[in-house]
Every structure is written in structure tokens, then in C-alpha cells.
Chain A
Amino acid sequence: MNRLSPRRIGLALAAPVLALLVAFVITSLVLTLFGDPVLEVWKTILHVPKPRQTVQIVNAATVFYLSAVAVAVGFRMNLFNIGVDGQYRVGVFAAAVFAGQAWLPGVFNVLVAIVVAMVAAGLWAGIAAYLKVRRGVSEVISTIMLNAIATGVVSWLFAKVAQRSEGSNITETKTIPESSQLEGLKLIPGATNRVFTLVVLAVIVGVLYWFVLGKTRFGFDLRATGRSETAAVASGVNVPRMVMTAMVASGALAGLVGMPQLFGQDHNYGTTIQSGLGFAGIGIALLGRNNPIGIAVASLLWAFLDIQSNALQIGVGVAQEIVFIIQGVILFAVVIAYELIRRTDIRLEQQRVARELAAQRHSTAATEGAPA
């Protein structure tokens, strides 16, 4: 069966569209139930974003994309890395402390700090990988635990290096030198704010993800292990080594999640840093079906909903947490829809084969039965 047949494409698109529709209906019901202005809410969420908000959407999507790809690398191998959130915090903290020291000038500081983040987050994920390979501990359990431990460890280290300016109640690490702060790109005309320079990072990661997983021997082994471990072993794949590599790679990518904001916005690690990015990544990877383009679309959708909802409280008087309902329903609906469509696909395939077989039998029967 050709992967790109019209039927396949139609079915692949049907699931997300269906999920969006279901989310739309359920959210509308919830809004009606609480007596909120349904029409106004949708108008606000679906309005055309201002240039300033478009920049914010692109920036938020950049961060979501990195997080989702980190999760997706694990998914492709049937590894469920819930620890992206913890790995992200370990990575961004390490990078912030390193870059704050200003040991290197300008861009070198940025590049090496990115490597530091990847190494720190990768090592943190390595703990879960080691536990799985050597002790058979489920990575689901160990990464959840490691998230909590990451919070504790980072807070403890943070308390040692944190400083606070006079009169402020915010503590933060040393601010990175101005020469290493990335001003951003003027991609959106008419916007006063700028797109994170490290949007480049997301593009590079996306291309590498597509290439390594789709076009290399390593990627094949990884996907094979994900589909069937026994088959992979039989074809000579060293499964424990693959688990180790995939988990550490997933962690290293998680280390990148905090980089665009660190160098483009916050310039230090402080008490007001964004949390929960790793969990958003899980949902987005699901929605994007682990496909580099799919994840990009899903990230943009997530970012769009997040940013557009900022206007809800002020414009309509509805809590912007309504977006969590929309996002949650989309996720549930999309998983159910994928399953339904998988079954439909199988049924259609069976019917096609049955039809062809019947036709074949009919034609052979016809030739056999023909009078000589």
C-alpha cells in the first residue's frame, strides 16, 4: 500500500480535524453551561492576531516545538519520557549559571552554554536510562520521580548561587553579559517585539529529527525497536544500547527547550521562569503524531490558543483557563480519533483485498467454467 495514497492522506487529516471539531463543541457546551458568552469567546480566540501577538505565537511555538521533539524521540522508540520538564529545568539552570559567568565572549558563550544545557539535561535523563537498562525500572515511574528530584536539586543549587537586586523580591542567577544576549529577529513586520533568534535552533532540530530518524541506519534501528523489540533483537539491534542512546538524546533535546527564552527574553534563571513546558510537549508530540511537520503545526496551534486566550479575561471576562479545557479535549479527541481511523483504515483495506480476491476468484472461475 502506497504511503501517500489519497485515502491515507485523507484519513490522516481527518483525525486532527475531527478532534478540533469535538473540542469546539464540548468547549461551547461548557461555556453555555456556565452562562458565559460563547460567541464572544470564540471571536476572541479566533481573531486575527496583531503583529505583536504573532511574534508571541511564533516564540511560544518555538519552545513547544523543542519540547515536543524531545518527547517524540522517546515515543518513536516506545519510551515514554515524562521527564522532559525536569530535564528542561536542569538544562536551563546549568546553562544560565554557565553563561552568567561570562567566561567566553559573545556568541561563543551562547553556543557553549547550549552544549552545557544539552549535557546536563542528557545526563539527568541518563539516570532514568541507566535504571531502565540495568534495573528494569519503568522510565515512566523514574522520570516522574526525577522531575520532583530535579525541582529539589535545582532549588537547592539555586539558593547557593541566587542573588537579588536591592528592593526586589525576585531572586535570580547572574544575568548573562549583554554581548551574549540575543536581541531577536525582525521577522514580523509592524511588531515592536522580536522573534527569538534561537527559532533557528527549532528549525535545525526539526530537520535533524527528520533526517536521523527517517534516513539513517540508527533511525531505522530506533524505530524498529519501538515497533517490536523482539524483532529488533533478532535483526541484531543492541536494544539496551538503543534505550540508553534514545533516552539521553531525548534528554539532551529537552535541554534545548529553555534556550530561546534564556537568551532572548529572561537573560537569567529566576524564580519567575516558566514551568510545565515538558508536559505541553507530551500533548503536542501526540497531536503531531511524532512527525516533524505535524509537531510544528501542533506547536503553532497550541501557541495560538495560549496567546489568543490572553485577551479573554480583559475582553470578554472569561477565565483564560478555558484554554486548558480546549487543549485537553483536543488531546483526548485526537487519540480516540486516531484509533477510530486506524480501525476504519484496516476495515477499508480488508474490504479492498476481499474485493480484489473476489474479483480474481470470479475471473478465474469464469475462465475455468468457460466451455472449451
Chain B
Amino acid sequence: MRHTMKVAAVVSVAALTLAACGDSGSDKPSSSGSSSSSSSSKKSDIKVGMAYDVGGRGDQSFNDSAAAGLDKAKSELGVQIKEAAAVNGENEAAREERLQQLIDAGYTHVVAVGFAYAASVGKAAKDNPDVHFAIVDDASPDSKGANVDQITFAENEGSFLVGAAAALKSKAGHIGFVGGVNVPLIKKFEAGYIAGAKAVNPNIKVDSQYLTQPPDFGGFGDPAKGKTAAEGMYQGGADIVYHAAGGSGGGVFTAAKAAGKLAIGVDSDQALTAPADVRPVIMTSMIKKVDVAVYDFIKSAADGKELTGNNVYDLKAGGVDYATTGGQVDDIKTKLDDYKQQIIDGKIKVPTTP
């Protein structure tokens, strides 16, 4: 009995430790969420509260892209900001509470980063008609409201371009895709990537793997899992791996470097944001301009025109793109831009499910 108790204590403490490790970024207590005061010369009476997805500021990917938009608004428009990040595995009440706390603290504009906030944004928007909301990655009736800016992206179109780039650059005719969590949003990345690769080379082999299954969203913040998955693909013969796995992507880059192969980044231009030692292996990145969308939302508010409804950021609107940092795709740039134009013109319809 007593022995069981000791084992139990060790296991449950281990579970807590794992939970704490699961979400990177916000486990650096001294750095997160400390940017409350506005030191800008220009002052605005707009106060922006930002609720990040799991991983928070510092994930070098999705959340950081949103953070970049917020930082730009802070320096250019002089808005006051406050940040908070989600905890892995939290329930609906915790998300509602996070938004409500921001509103209670007097924030007039609340940005929710990630589709998990859909229902909670819808509820908070109804309860607080004077507060304006933006939600990234959701356009469902759940979050719809007169005071809600629903921001969505055509990730499949951007992924099509990096898929085409991978196929053009692959010598083995064999590439890979690592998804963070098996959810429809990430499948959209996979679908576009495969379609782009097949458009270049119909016989190309594409390995796909997802790191975790919902409700475990740890796959967006677990570099070790990303590394293992990518290592397997490189050993199996793939020479380029694209990741849509948030913070886990760091592991994909490490694996690429160790194997002497290439990788493709996601959300941010990761050849600029990743640790310096792995930057050379990042051939290109599928940029999802969450920063532009977040900035648009705040800028419009500052101009007195609040954004509402579903705002789609696709290739045509410049919401998604491929990155050219490092010059590794310069030789195929004309081909990629040709595909880009065809998608914009509607000549190529990119699928959203693989």
C-alpha cells in the first residue's frame, strides 16, 4: 500500500512535469507576458490583449508571427499590449476565462490566436459587445459576431508553392511532410504540399506523419518528436521535409542538419527566426502572414474602421507566400512565381484535404 503510494506520487509528479514541458515558450517565466507598458512616443487609447495558442510567444513559428504583428502595432501605433498563452490540454472554461480577464483588465481589442478559441471568442463577443475581437484560423458560426474579425488563410495555396519547390529541388524524387497535430487545419497544409509536389513530378513519393492526435496538442511544441519523425523520413530516402508543426519544427531542422539534407519552414520566415546553426538547411518557408492580419486588425481600429466578418488572406491578398531568404530557391523562382500566378488567376485549384 505504502509502496503503491510512492510510485503514485512519482508518476503524478512526472505527469505534472511533462505538462509543464509540453508548452514551450511560456515556461521561461521571466520573459513571458512582461510587455505590458507602452514605451512608445505615440500614444493610442487602444489596448490590445493577445491570447496565444499553446506555445506562446517564442515558438519561432505560428505564435511568433502573431507576436510580430502585435509588436509592429505597438511601435508604430503606440497601442498598449498584454499577452497570455494557452496551457496544453486546458478546457473551454480556461480559454473563456483568459479572454474575460483581458477584458476585465480594460483591453478594448482582444486577439485570439488559434482555432481552439472559436467558441470562447463567440461567447465573449456576445457578452462584451463594446470590445472588439479578432480570431486567427476560424471562420465558423461559433465565433461569428458583429464585433469579430475572423482571420483565415489559404495555407493550402502557400503549401502548394513550397511543395512545388521541394519537388523541383529533390534529387531522390522522395520528400516528406511532418504535421504537428492531426487536425483539419494541418491537413490543409499537407494537401497543398502534396498537390504542389505532384504538379511538378506526378511520380514523386511523399511521406506524411503527424506527431500527436487530438486532444493531445503537444505535437505543436515537442522538438524531440519532430526530430524523430524527420530522422525516419531522411533515413527512408527523403531528401526534403516540410513541417507544419509549430515549435516541434526545431527538431525537424536539427534532423535535417544531422542528415545533411534540407527542410522547409512554416508560418514565419524560419531562415530568419530559427537558431543560427540550422538556418542553412532551411531551403524556404511557407509564410503565413499572421502578423499582417493582426496588424491590419489593430491598424483599422486605430483608423476608426473596425474589421469584422471573415477576412481571407490568400495568395491573391498576399496572406501566404514562400520565402526566398538564403537564396536557395532563386534558381527556381520563375517557375514558382508562374505557379503562383496560375493559382491567383484561378487556373490551378488547390485542394484543402489530402
Contact = CB atoms under 8 A, between A and B. Distances in A.
Interface in B87-117: 87-94, 97-98, 100-102, 105, 115-116
B29 A274 contact: no
A142 B306 CA distance: 55
A71 B11 CA distance: 13
A310 B97 contact: yes
B141 interface: yes
Nearest to B152: A167
Interface in B261-308: none
B215 A275 contact: yes
B71 to A, nearest CB: 16
Interface in A257-295: 261, 265-266, 271-276, 279-280, 282-283, 285-286
B140 A56 contact: no
A172 B193 CA distance: 25
Report the contact-size class of chain A (Cβ under 8 Å from the partner): 35 or more
B105 A34 contact: no
Contacts of A245: none
A75 B12 CA distance: 14
Contacts of A279: 11-12, 15-16, 19
B1 A271 contact: no
Interface in B23-42: 23, 26-30, 32-34, 36
A319 interface: yes
B7 A272 contact: no
Nearest to A318: B29
Among B84, B91, B102, find the residue whose CB has the most chain A CB atoms closer than 10 A.
B91
Nearest to A89: B215
Interface stretch (A126-134, A325-333, A347-355, A356-364): A325-333
Contact of B93 (A60, A155, A332): A60
Given A282-B15, A321-B23, A35 B84 contact: no
A197 interface: no
A276 B213 contact: no
Nearest to A31: B29
Among B17, B183, B214, find the residue whose CB has the most chain A CB atoms closer than 10 A.
B214
Interface residues of B, number: 67
B7 A331 contact: no
B234 to A, nearest CB: 25
B12 A282 contact: yes
A261 B1 CA distance: 32
Given A265-B93, A324-B17, A226 B5 contact: no
Nearest to A316: B33
A45 interface: no
Question: Which 8 pairs, one residue from A and one from B, show the smallest C-beta to C-beta distance?
Answer: A168-B140, A167-B139, A279-B15, A274-B91, A169-B115, A271-B214, A275-B89, A283-B12
Given A80-B7, A279-B12, A314-B101, 20 more contacts: A36-B30, A56-B97, A59-B93, A170-B118, A171-B183, A192-B127, A261-B91, A274-B89, A279-B11, A282-B12, A283-B13, A286-B12, A310-B97, A313-B32, A314-B33, A314-B102, A319-B29, A320-B87, A321-B19, A324-B16
20 contacts: A34-B29, A82-B11, A151-B213, A165-B141, A166-B140, A168-B139, A169-B118, A169-B140, A170-B183, A261-B91, A265-B92, A273-B214, A274-B215, A280-B15, A282-B12, A313-B32, A314-B101, A317-B34, A317-B36, A342-B2
